[in-house]
Amino acid sequence: MVRYALEKRHMHACWQSFVKAALAWGRGLEKRDLPHNINFFMNVPVTAQGGLTFEDGVSAPGKYVEMRAEMNVLALISNCPQLNNPCNAYNPTPIHVLIWDPAD
């Protein structure tokens, strides 16, 4: 809504999609069980006045993010491009995900 206007609020963002899927999954997860998402592909700097701006993304082929879970986690990955965002010419590109077992 911040970026594309109030009338676009019906277009679910990633977190709303996660909540909707978690509730439908039927394993007892509720809205409060899901923290807000981390978006590694969008560039939203905070201004000196505390506002937000939307800039071109900084992700590129060959860049990566490595994370370590110190406990069991449920990771949700969403490909939820905003319908009004011309990023990548409306053509999402593939993501490669690797998961290592700590026993390896």
What per-residue confidence (pLDDT) applies to 61? 81
Residues 10 and 29: their CA atoms lie apart, in Å, by 23
Per residue of the chain (104 residues), give pLDDT as tens: 555 566 665 565 667 778 888 888 888 888 888 887 777 777 888 999 998 887 777 777 888 889 888 888 888 777 665 566 666 666 667 788 888 887 76
Q: Which amino acid is at 51?
A: G
Give pLDDT, residue 4. Answer: 58
Give the separation between CA 93 and CA 60, rounded to whole angstroms.
Answer: 10
Do residues 11 and 82 lie in contact, with contact meaning Cβ atoms separated by under 8 Å?
yes
Write out the H or E segment, with its range, that includes residue 19: helix 14-25
What pLDDT, on the 0 to 100 scale, is given for residue 48? 95
Supply the pLDDT for residue 50: 93
Give the residue numbers spanning the domain of 27.
1-104
Q: What is the CA radius of gyration of the chain?
A: 16
Residue 67's identity, in one-letter code, is M
Number of domains forming the structure of the chain: 1
